[in-house]
Amino acid sequence: MNAWKKHGAALCYTLPAALIIVAFFITSIAYTLYVSFTDYDGLDSPHWVGFENYARLFQDMTYITSLKNTLIWVVATLVFPVGLGLLFSVMLQRIKGQRLFKNIFYLPYAMSLTVVGVIWVLLFSRTGINFVLTQVGLDKLALDWLNTPPYNTYAMIVASIWQGTGTNMLLFLIGLGSLPKEPFEAAAIDGAGRARTFWNITLPLLNPITIVVLGMSLVNSFKIFDIIWVMTMGGPYRSSETLAVTMYRESFVIFHFGQGAAISIVLTVISIAVSWFYLRQTIVKEA
């Protein structure tokens, strides 16, 4: 009796949060899974169509472009914001006035992706970077950035690099600050140069934090939406969509709920598979 009472009390505390999660998210997942096998358009009742929505993803050029763009975003996010973050942190480590520089690079991260998108729309407009390019006589380089595929995707990646490098830099700085001193002293005594010290000592010691930074960037890069929605809305002619944007357009612009649901399932499967594979690899490596 007493045990039950105790258990009941514990349940009273945990249940509200659990119920909200089930009501909002667990049921949503089940519903999305179901809708992805139907032709639901929000008006007529849904008909079962099997894997039709999924098959279309790998036939229609629109979706293949979207898949390709997602891949470009993922690779670029893993290379640039992470690589630059590491580079900045290493450079900053040996500099006076580190705080000032740190804050400058971190500043864009304190703004929302929506705001960042609006700023870079201005920069990539006729009056932005192109104005400077024409002034210095480089007219040929002055493209209509956001309307010319594939440059529109690259342009938006630049905006996201500007925003995201700061956090990675901060995480690397925390990592660098907590490294042991002895290996570096030993390397200095052995007369190892800066480059060799970096490759052979700093990077391996930094591995745990690198894994975290890469993992976080990876997971986020699959879901990129805000910047694209603000800067191009996935256009022109759906040339700069990623899976997240395609999903939104299918569902809420042209009301192909079934197709949109199938895309979100594919997105989920890809991102969970990749994170799982990545986690397993790193765990095996660590062990």
Partner 1 sequence: MRTFSNALLYGCMIVLAVLWLLPIALVLMNAAKSLEDFTQGNIWALPHSFSLFANMKEALHMGELGRGMLNSFGYSFLGAGISILLAAMAAFGVVILRLKGGFYWFLLIYSGTVFPFQMYLVPLFKGYQQFGIYDTFGGMLLFYVAISIPFCMFLLRNYMTTIPFEVVEAAQMDGFRSFGIFARIIFPLLLPPVSVLMLFQFTWIWNDLVFGLTLSRSESVRPVMAGLASMQGIFFRSGVTTLMAGIVLTSIPTIVLFFSLQRNFIKGMVLTVKS
Under rule CB under 8 A, which residues in 96-125 are in contact with partner 1? 101, 103-115, 118-123
Q: Is 254 in the site for partner 1 (CB under 8 A)?
A: no
Q: Which is nearer to partner 1, 33 or 201 (CB)?
A: 33
Q: Do the beta carbons of residue 165 and residue 85 sit within 8 Å?
A: yes
Structure tokens at 226: 């805000």
Q: Give long-range contacts, CB 8 A cutoff, 24+ apart: 235-241.
A: 235/147, 236/147, 236/149, 236/152, 238/62, 238/65, 238/66, 239/65, 239/149, 239/150, 239/152, 240/69, 240/149, 240/152, 240/153, 240/156, 241/62, 241/65, 241/66, 241/69
Interacting span for partner 1 (CB under 8 A) from 65-73, 75-83, 218-226, 277-285:
218-226
Cα distance between residue 96 and residue 211, in whole Å: 28
Q: Do the beta carbons of residue 231 and residue 159 sit within 8 Å?
A: yes
The correct pick among 26, 75, 141, 203 for binding partner 1 (CB under 8 A) is: 26
Total Cβ atoms within 10 A of residue 158: 16
C-alpha torsion 201→204→205→210, nearest 10: 140
List all residues 6 or more positions away from 79 whose beta carbon is below 8 Å from its beta carbon. Answer: none
The correct pick among 61, 94, 195, 284 for binding partner 1 (CB under 8 A) is: 94
Q: Is 273 in the site for partner 1 (CB under 8 A)?
A: no
* Nearest distance from C-beta of residue 54 to partner 1, angstroms: 15
Q: Is 242 in the site for partner 1 (CB under 8 A)?
A: no
Cα distance between residue 232 and residue 236, in whole Å: 7
Interacting span for partner 1 (CB under 8 A) from 51-59, 62-70, 136-144, 263-271:
263-271
Q: Do the beta carbons of residue 74 and residue 221 sit within 8 Å?
A: yes
Q: Which is nearer to partner 1, 50 or 177 (CB)?
A: 177
Q: Which is nearer to partner 1, 38 or 239 (CB)?
A: 38
Write out the binding residues for partner 1, residues 132-191 only, by CB under 8 A: 132, 162, 167, 170-171, 174
The correct pick among 186, 188, 212, 283 for binding partner 1 (CB under 8 A) is: 212
* Nearest distance from C-beta of residue 274 to partner 1, angstroms: 12
Write out the binding residues for partner 1, residues 38-77 only, by CB under 8 A: 42
Q: Is 95 in the site for partner 1 (CB under 8 A)?
A: yes
The correct pick among 48, 51, 199, 252 for binding partner 1 (CB under 8 A) is: 252
* Nearest distance from C-beta of residue 201 to partner 1, angstroms: 19
Q: Is 206 in the site for partner 1 (CB under 8 A)?
A: no
Q: Which is nearer to partner 1, 135 or 200 (CB)?
A: 135
Q: Is 28 in the site for partner 1 (CB under 8 A)?
A: yes
Structure tokens at 172: 């690397």
List all residues 6 or more positions away from 71 whose beta carbon is below 8 Å from its beta carbon. Answer: none
Q: Which is nearer to partner 1, 6 or 185 (CB)?
A: 6
